[in-house]
């Protein structure tokens, strides 16, 4: 009876798959009079004839996962994304056509839904209403606010004229994606107000200022938002704002013979800029 070498077990590869996960894509379709925004996170998995890679280390049938990621950005640039179901099929057709060793392509997509504020500004279903009420012997303070309000500008935002030392690599720009998860807390002057109505109106003021302000920096727009709230709402004594700068990086498609006229971006979470300030009445 044949025996296996010490340390080996009689086994077969029963199932396998591989691919790329958490590929993040943001596309800005720049049309006359408006921009259309799509943000998608996706995973692509292949099944097929890959046993030789697992069993002997032969990579001749393996498409690198980095290539899978790059393909997403190239096809996003070359095709209009109207429905994620259609874009998923576009990816599947490409991979099956060009990879005969692949028997199945599974594409999982999550679309992060943005609502339009105006033609070039958006907000995402987010934001929590907050309040802190403090009662002391000498009175009551009411601090209302908004937490995690996701907002984005696809035009009207630049960053220029900053310090450039030997370690600065960031290029100046007149046109960038401006995305933040805004946190605002404001203190009312009195404890007896129509709080529901005021909160809705202050939130609307924040969105309107963000959407229309010609921004030279996150700090510039933060100040404009706070200043407008104090100007429009005499019931507010002060406002504290935090606006982390959620970067969206332009994807370099030149290696694939394609331009990228500020359309295809990679959204990133970390690291991010962190900007905060308090505005009070004189």
Q: Which two tokens stand for residue 91?
A: 């990816």
Q: What is the pTM of this model?
A: 0.82
What is the rounded radius of gyration, in angstroms, for the C-alpha atoms of the chain? 25
27 and 38 in contact (C-beta within 8 Å)? Answer: yes
161: left (phi over 0), alpha (psi -120 to 50) or beta: left
| Beta-carbon contacts of residue 38 (< 8 Å; ≥ 6 apart) | 25, 26, 27, 29, 81, 84, 111
Question: What are φ and ψ of residue 208, in 5° steps?
Answer: -65, -45
Over its length of 282 residues, how does the chain's per-residue pLDDT go in tens digits?
566 566 677 888 899 999 999 999 999 999 999 999 999 999 999 999 999 999 999 999 999 999 999 999 999 999 999 989 999 999 999 999 999 999 999 999 989 989 999 999 999 878 899 999 888 888 889 999 999 999 999 999 999 999 999 999 999 999 999 999 999 999 999 988 999 999 999 999 999 999 999 999 999 999 999 999 999 999 999 999 999 999 999 999 999 999 999 999 999 988 899 999 999 999
Q: Which candidate in 41, 65, 141, 212 is catalytic? A: 65
pLDDT (0 to 100) of residue 133: 85
Question: What are φ and ψ of residue 207, in 5° steps?
Answer: -65, -40
Neighbours of 72 (CB within 10 A): 22
pLDDT (0 to 100) of residue 270: 84
Nearest residue to 267 (alpha-carbon basis) of 156, 117, 112, 162 = 112
Q: Which candidate in 69, 213, 246, 247 is catalytic? A: 247
Residue with tokens 């984005």: 152
By three-state DSSP, how is residue 29 classified?
A: strand
pLDDT (0 to 100) of residue 7: 63
Distances (CA, A) of 42 to 79, 175, 177: 17, 27, 21
Q: Which candidate in 20, 27, 38, 213 is catalytic? A: 20
Distances (CA, A) of 190 to 31, 171, 197, 203, 224: 47, 47, 15, 19, 24
247 is annotated as an active-site residue: yes
248 and 177 in contact (C-beta within 8 Å)? Answer: yes
Question: What are φ and ψ of residue 225, in 5° steps?
Answer: -65, -50
* Residue 196 CB-density burial (10 A; 0-12 exposed, 13-18 middle, 19+ buried): exposed
141 is annotated as an active-site residue: no
240 and 270 in contact (C-beta within 8 Å)? Answer: no
pLDDT (0 to 100) of residue 171: 92
114 DSSP assignment: E
20 is annotated as an active-site residue: yes
């Amino acid at each position: 009876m044949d025996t296996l070498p010490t340390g080996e077990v009689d086994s077969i590869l029963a199932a396998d798959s591989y691919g790329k996960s958490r590929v993040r894509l943001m596309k800005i379709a720049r049309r006359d009079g408006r921009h259309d925004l799509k943000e998608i996170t996706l995973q692509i998995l292949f099944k097929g004839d890959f046993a030789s890679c697992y069993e002997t280390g032969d990579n001749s049938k393996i498409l690198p996962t980095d290539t899978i990621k790059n393909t997403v950005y190239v096809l996003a640039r070359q095709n209009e994304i109207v429905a994620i179901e259609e874009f998923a099929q576009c990816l599947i057709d490409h991979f099956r056509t060009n990879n005969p060793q692949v028997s199945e392509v599974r594409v999982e997509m999550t679309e992060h839904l943005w609502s339009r504020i105006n033609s070039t500004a958006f907000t995402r279903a987010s934001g929590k209403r907050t309040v802190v009420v403090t009662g002391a012997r000498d009175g009551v303070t009411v601090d209302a606010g908004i937490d995690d309000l996701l907002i984005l500008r696809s035009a009207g935002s630049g960053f220029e004229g900053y310090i450039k030392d030997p370690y600065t690599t960031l290029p100046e720009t007149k046109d960038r994606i401006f995305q933040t998860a805004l946190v605002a807390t404001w203190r009312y002057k009195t404890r007896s107000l129509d709080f529901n109505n005021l909160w809705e109106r202050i939130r609307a003021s924040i969105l309107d200022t963000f959407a229309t302000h010609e921004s030279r920096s996150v700090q510039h727009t933060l100040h404009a938002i706070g200043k407008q709230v104090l100007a429009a709402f005499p019931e507010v004594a002060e406002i504290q704002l935090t606006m982390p700068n959620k970067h969206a990086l332009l994807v370099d498609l030149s290696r694939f013979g394609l331009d990228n006229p500020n359309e295809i971006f990679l959204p990133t979470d970390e690291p991010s800029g962190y900007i905060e300030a308090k505005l009070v009445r004189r």
